[in-house]
Chain A
């Protein structure tokens, strides 16, 4: 199925650094979701965005819904070791009468060194 372009694919950063990742699509979405997944576990919802241009924070995380509705970014400030994992963006398009589906990005693998 369709996947969103997510970059970077992976990144090594030092503890305390800020992190930025983004997701782009060729089609528009109504909703953007950002998930974090630890090895062997299910994805955990971090932030949900519902309106074009919306900027939302959750602790050290900040995400924005692009004005064109075709992109989103996630920033993590002052990274800590437990931020290690795979981050997935997911776009969701809802049209009346049909069930909405998530389209996932390819994932960004984050590793934090002390």
Chain B
């Protein structure tokens, strides 16, 4: 099983709202990732968690706040977003961060109004 699940599938939020995106995997992977993808572009890395610790933050604005409550779950907390933050947000996982294969979830389509 190489399944990564994400909820919700779609999210519409205003610029003053607070919302969270959720990601879950049960493959025993110890590395989890958040990516942002704009239309017709490749995914852009935002954060990497390794063994539940934040390993990489690609200079993401603080209005995006990641959290890894345990080895199976990854959250992305959103607050005071801008319309240009509208995108497909993808979660991925891999065995670890030593170059192993990454498996992606179906994504959350976020629209900021």
Tally of contacts, chain A with chain B, CB under 8 A? 63
Please tell me if the beta carbons of A1 and B98 are within 8 angstroms of each other in the complex. no
Q: Which residue of A lies closest to B107 (CB)?
A: A42
Q: Which residue of A lies closest to B4 (CB)?
A: A42
A1-B58, A3-B42, A107-B40 given; A101·B103 CB < 8 A: no
Which of A14-22, A33-41, A59-67, A74-82 lies at the interface?
A33-41
| A17-55 interface with B by 8 A CB criterion | 30-31, 33, 35, 40-45, 48
| B30-83 interface with A by 8 A CB criterion | 31, 40-45, 48, 50, 55-56, 58
Having A100-B98, A101-B48, A102-B102, one finds 9 other A-B pairs with CB under 8 Å, namely A31-B99, A31-B101, A33-B102, A88-B43, A99-B31, A99-B55, A99-B56, A101-B45, A104-B43
